[in-house]
Structure formats: C-alpha cells, structure tokens
C-alpha cells in the first residue's frame, strides 16, 4: 500500500489541501514526497498555524526548496485575511515600498482576481490601484473568499510538486522536547480526533495564540508588562497577565434597501443591549451605540452609520464590496461592509489565562459571537437613522462571504498572543515617537535601527480596549524594522516565532500585529529556517555571527524583502 493510501486510510479528509475553489484550487489529499509512517509526518520544516505568518513562512521555505508541512485549525488558510475576515491594515506607502515582493504579489493577485472574474466597469478594470471594497481602512479592502483563492494559487505549484502538505482542521495538542530542542509536535484532526506527529529539524509557531510555547516549555510572556520591567512610558505600573487586547468575532453585512432581513433576536441580546464596558478611562456609554471612545482623545466619538451610501462613517470604514465598480445590472445590492468595530470588541475575558480551561475559552468565543449577532440585531432594529427613524432592516448577513452557516467569521480576530521571551525584545523606546524623542533628546527622530533587521513595518501603536479594564492606548510610532532577535527564543534552538508571538511587549504588539508585518515576520522565519538548514547551523548561530547574518540578510534582500526604510515618518 502506498504512503498516500496509508495516510488517507488513517487520517481521512483532514489531509486535504483546501476546499475546491474552481480552477485555482490546490486539489484534494496531496501528500506526495513527504515521509509518513505509523502516524508520523516528516518534513524539513513544520509550520503550526496557517494564518498570514504561517502561509508567508511556507512560501518562503518552499521557494528555497524545503519540504514543508503546514497545519491550520480551520478549513481556510490565511488567518486575518480570510478566516478572521479582516481587510489588511496597511501603512500609506504600501504600494511603493515597505513590504516584500511576495506580499506585493498577494496584493496584485487580489486585484487580478477581480479584474479576471468580476463584471467590472471599464474604469475599475483600468485602475492599477483598484480597491475592490472601497473601504477607508485599507487600499485593498476585499472579500475573504478572494484572499483565500489568491493564497491557494500561491501555494498550488508546491502542492503539485509534492513539496507541501497542508493539514486543515488540525490543531496542536502536545510537543515532545529533548533538552533545548523540540523533537515532535502532535496535531489532532478536529473532526475525526485522529492524531499525527510532525517531525522536522525546525518548527515555526505561527498559531494565533502562541499555542506551541506552553506545550514545548518555551519561555514566554502573557498580558501586560510593568514599567519596571520594560521602562515603557505607557506600560502599567504593575504587570497584569489579565490585561490583553480584546478579540472580535467579525462578520460581513450587506445592505438591500426596501427588504427585511432582520435576524432572530439573539439569546443574549438583553445583556449586550444594556452592557456598559467597565474601563479606565471610562467608555463613552453603552457598547451597543454609535458613540464610542475615540482611540486617541478617549472622548466620546460618533462616526455615524448610513448604509445607503449617503454617509461615510462606520459603513465605509471596512467596506469590502463596492457597488460602483460593477457594470450596470451586474449587482443590485448596496454593497457590503466588514463589521470589526469598537462595538463588537469582546471584553469579558481573554482567550489565554493561567488556569483557564479550554471550555472557558470556548465560552468566551460563544459569547463574543452573541455580542456580534446582538450588534447586528441592534443595527437592524434600534440603530438611530439620519432621518429620525430607527433600524436598518435591509441589512443582511452574508454567510457565503465567510464560509459559515451563521454568517460570522470562521475564527475570532486575535490581536494579542502569548509572546516569546526572545533574544531581543522591541519596546516603546525603540519605535514610539514620543518615547524616542525623550530617549534621544530631540524632535527629529527615527525608530531604533536594528542591525539584524529582517523586514519592516509601520503602524500606530494601536491597542484596543483590553480585558482587565484598560481603555485604548493609541499613540504615534515611527516606521520600524523587525529584528531577527525578536523571532528567536532565549533558550529553545529549533523553534522560530512566525507571527504575533515574537519578542515584543504588550505595548509594541500594538504596531507589530498587523497583516503586512505578520507576513514579513513569517517570511523571515521561513527564510531563516531554510538558510540554517542550507549552512548546517541554527538560526541562533546565524544571528550570533555578524558575517553569517549579513549573508542571510543579503539573501532576503535578493528575494525582494525590504529590510530598511528609505525615510522615517511618524504615524
């Protein structure tokens, strides 16, 4: 019996690559080329977590000839871009610089998808900077399913060549450790319960919550550090593991004027309708209201909401379907927006807490879904209208856009993870505008230059309200670099952080957590693993020797990774 048949018999459909998406699909059950026996899969690199960082890491390693196994707990790869359904939060210069060729290829792929498959106007087809949704948060607001299709296409050639195995619906359950090395990570099929042990010289933790860290005994941090620990101006007076940024269950909502799509009254609607966040500084009032706390001023703010197209505000903030780009008669709806607003940030508890059971975390997700459905019901029935009326009955959920039955995203949008105790930790003093000015004693400043830079990013230090009672922290930052030292644990030698779990603080997580930054973290993680295998040295050894690192950094630059900014501008 062939290896392929043995594995399919034992593990079933969980070894399929991706749901079929027409001609761009990777196909089913592609396993060729990787050794497997008695419930084990061996590869050059095991990447646990198929979000933005995990996919970027896989692509980087595959480009350099590695055999890769990539796991994902949902049935969609792409994380923030797809299963969490959030349009990319990007810096203003993303079209010109400040990312990588691979990330720009993803962005081009999204635009090309619409131009190839959608009935667009002549103007939209000729626009090189097409923003499919026309949302204000990004120059590339798009539907989650399109992101999934593009990422699928990017991985497809390597699956066809048998160099990639993707285990969908698989989550890590335990790790085997030998001293300072991880020997194996066991993942479980969430549908069947079958387990498979992954073995590889190197493991990347690209999970949304840093799940491998406690399993493998990797030293890590949870929640907010104290000022005494980090010296950061905006750190807490005392450390608090319970202070973590809220997560959000997002959902797309379409508007159809004159129709009634009111959902059933959610089970917890009465609770959420009256809920007032207990935060310091105080929240603006009830959570289900158009007024909320302005992230910067912390004063009441109301952008307004009008899905008819007459107003801007929350409707256009993360719009993912813009009616104006389609030819007349091709689309008769009023567009769709992705609801990821202050009003559905979940504040009743974190997903990671000492002693917290899996059942408790699942209950937080359940209640977060109730909050999002309650917000939808409130918008449909009680939301104030500009004409003096209440409710927008024409709003409807779009389950087809997110691949779920309930119309909510497949997975919660995670802003804050466990974070490794790293060889180097980025603090506010390295990237915060006011902290840098104070540190250097002058007004004209740039972020700390890191000699071991493996990528760049730029975003405000944007901390959403947190569990534990803390309101927004939203302060200016400077375009920054990603140091390799922040991806490497202080002790464990064959694990590399590949997403939001790198060596940052609760404060600097606020600018290192966004889509293009996570992509570059993952790309660097996959690349350093490939380089380490090529020279028969560990990633730690690559960083420990300046000449070795410069050779590696030169490879990154040759692959189109920007490792420095041409000019630093405060955000």
DSSP state letters, 165-181: EEEETEEEEEEEEETTE
DSSP SS3 for 365: helix
Record the pTM.
Answer: 0.93
CA distances from 218 to 30, 70, 175, 240, 528 (A): 32, 20, 11, 20, 19
Q: Which of 466, 236, 462 is nearest to 347 (CA)?
A: 466
DSSP SS3 for 69: strand
Which pLDDT value is given to residue 312? 77
Q: Which of 46, 412, 416, 53 is nearest to 206 (CA)?
A: 53
Peptide bond before 220: cis, by omega within 30 degrees of 0?
no
What is d(CA 129, CA 363) in angstroms, rounded to the nearest whole number?
A: 42
Which residue's entry shows tokens 């290896």? 3
Name beta bridge partners: 430: none
Which pLDDT value is given to residue 1? 35
What is d(CA 391, CA 135) in angstroms, rounded to the nearest whole number?
A: 22
Which two three-digit tokens encode residue 522? Answer: 């993952």
Which two three-digit tokens encode residue 203? Answer: 């493991």
Q: Which of 341, 305, 335, 340 is nearest to 320 (CA)?
A: 335
Name beta bridge partners: 165: 69
Give yes or no for a contact between 283 and 277, defined as CB atoms under 8 angstroms apart: yes
Q: Phi and psi at residue 328, in whole multiples of 5°?
A: -55, 130
Which pLDDT value is given to residue 17? 38
Q: Phi and psi at residue 479, in whole multiples of 5°?
A: -50, 130
pLDDT digit string, tens, across residues 44-67: 999 999 999 999 999 999 999 999
What is d(CA 66, CA 109) in angstroms, rounded to the nearest whole number?
A: 24
Which pLDDT value is given to residue 450? 98
What is d(CA 555, CA 61) in angstroms, rounded to the nearest whole number?
A: 13
Indicate the DSSP class of residue 464: P
pLDDT digit string, tens, across residues 344-390: 999 999 999 988 999 999 999 999 999 999 999 999 999 999 999 99
Q: Which of 33, 41, 45 is nearest to 201 (CA)?
A: 45
Q: Which residues of 511-545 are buried (b: 16+ CB within 10 A; e: fewer)?
A: bbbbbbbbbbbbbbbbbbbbbbbeeeebbbebbee
Separate counts of helices (H) and strands (E) for the chain: 17, 24
DSSP SS3 for 240: strand
Centroid of chain to Cα 463: 15
What is d(CA 344, CA 66) in angstroms, rounded to the nearest whole number?
A: 41
Which pLDDT value is given to residue 310? 74
What is d(CA 49, CA 30) in angstroms, rounded to the nearest whole number?
A: 18
Q: Phi and psi at residue 224, in whole multiples of 5°?
A: -100, 130
Residues of the chain with pLDDT under 50: 1-38, 568, 570
Which two three-digit tokens encode residue 226? Answer: 């104290």
Which pLDDT value is given to residue 30? 38
What is d(CA 501, CA 222) in angstroms, rounded to the nearest whole number?
A: 10
Give yes or no for a contact between 26 and 18, defined as CB atoms under 8 angstroms apart: yes
Contacts of 107 (CB under 8 A, 6+ apart): 94, 140
Give yes or no for a contact between 262 and 465, defined as CB atoms under 8 angstroms apart: no
What is d(CA 107, CA 7) in angstroms, rounded to the nearest whole number?
A: 35
Give yes or no for a contact between 182 and 45, defined as CB atoms under 8 angstroms apart: no
What is d(CA 571, CA 568) in angstroms, rounded to the nearest whole number?
A: 9
Which pLDDT value is given to residue 35? 35
Query: Element (H or E) spanning 7, and its range?
Result: helix 3-11
Q: Phi and psi at residue 112, in whole multiples of 5°?
A: -65, -35
Query: Element (H or E) spanning 321, and its range?
Result: strand 319-321
Which pLDDT value is given to residue 569? 52
What is d(CA 76, CA 525) in angstroms, rounded to the nearest whole number?
A: 21
Alpha-helical runs (H) found in 383-514? 399-402, 428-431, 433-440, 509-512
| Strand pairing category for 195-199 and 181-189 | antiparallel
What is d(CA 298, CA 300) in angstroms, rounded to the nearest whole number?
A: 7
């Amino acid at each position: 019996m062939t290896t392929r048949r043995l594995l399919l018999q034992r593990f079933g459909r969980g070894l399929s690559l991706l749901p079929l998406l027409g001609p761009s699909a990777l196909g089913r059950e592609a396993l060729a080329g990787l050794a497997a026996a008695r419930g084990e899969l061996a590869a050059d690199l095991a990447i646990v977590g198929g979000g933005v960082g995990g996919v970027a890491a896989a692509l980087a390693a595959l480009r350099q000839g590695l055999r890769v196994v990539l796991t994902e707990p949902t049935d969609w790869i792409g994380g923030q871009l797809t299963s969490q359904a959030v349009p990319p939060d990007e810096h203003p210069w993303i079209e010109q610089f400040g990312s990588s060729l691979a990330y720009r290829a993803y962005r081009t792929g999204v635009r090309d998808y619409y131009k190839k498959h959608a009935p667009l106007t002549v103007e939209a087809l000729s626009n090189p900077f097409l923003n499919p949704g026309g949302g204000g948060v990004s120059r590339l607001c798009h539907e989650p399913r399109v992101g999934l299709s593009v990422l699928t296409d990017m991985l497809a050639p390597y699956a066809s060549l048998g160099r990639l195995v993707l285990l969908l619906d698989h989550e890590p359950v335990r790790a085997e450790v030998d001293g300072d090395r991880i020997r194996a990570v066991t993942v479980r099929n969430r549908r069947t319960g079958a387990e498979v042990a992954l073995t590889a010289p190197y493991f990347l933790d690209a999970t949304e919550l840093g799940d491998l860290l406690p399993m493998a005994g990797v030293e890590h941090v949870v929640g907010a550090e104290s000022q005494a620990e980090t010296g950061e101006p905006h750190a807490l007076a005392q450390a608090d593991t319970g202070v973590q940024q809220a997560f959000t269950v997002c959902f797309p909502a379409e508007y159809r004027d004159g129709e009634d799509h009111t959902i059933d009254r959610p089970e917890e609607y009465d609770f959420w309708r009256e809920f007032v966040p207990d935060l310091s500084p105080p929240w603006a009032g009830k959570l289900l209201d158009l007024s909320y706390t302005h992230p910067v001023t912390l004063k009441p703010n109301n952008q307004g909401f009008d899905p008819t197209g007459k107003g801007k505000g929350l409707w256009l903030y993360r719009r993912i379907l813009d009616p104006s780009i389609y030819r007349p008669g091709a689309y008769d709806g009023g567009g769709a927006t992705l609801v990821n607003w202050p009003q559905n940030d979940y504040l009743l508890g974190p997903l990671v807490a000492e002693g917290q059971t899996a059942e408790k975390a699942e209950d937080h997700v359940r209640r977060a879904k109730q909050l999002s459905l309650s917000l939808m019901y409130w918008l449909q029935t009680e939301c104030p209208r500009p004409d003096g009326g209440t409710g927008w009955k024409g709003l409807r959920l779009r389950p087809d856009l997110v691949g779920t039955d309930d119309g909510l995203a497949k997975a919660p949008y995670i802003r804050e993870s466990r974070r490794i105790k790293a060889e180097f930790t980025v603090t506010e003093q390295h990237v915060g505008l006011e902290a840098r000015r104070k540190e250097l004693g002058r007004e004209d400043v740039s972020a700390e230059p890191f000699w071991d830079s493996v990528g760049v990013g730029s975003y405000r230090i944007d901390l959403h309200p947190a569990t534990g009672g803390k309101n927004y922290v939203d302060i200016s930052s400077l375009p920054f670099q990603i140091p390799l030292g922040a991806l490497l644990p202080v002790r464990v030698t064959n694990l590399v952080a590949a997403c939001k779990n790198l060596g940052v603080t609760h404060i600097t997580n606020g600018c290192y957590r966004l889509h293009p930054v996570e992509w570059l973290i993952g790309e660097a993680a996959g690349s350093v693993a490939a380089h380490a295998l090529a020279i028969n040295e560990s990633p730690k050894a690559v960083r420990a020797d300046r000449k070795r690192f410069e050779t590696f950094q030169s490879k990154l630059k040759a692959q189109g990774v920007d490792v420095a900014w041409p000019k630093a501008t405060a955000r």
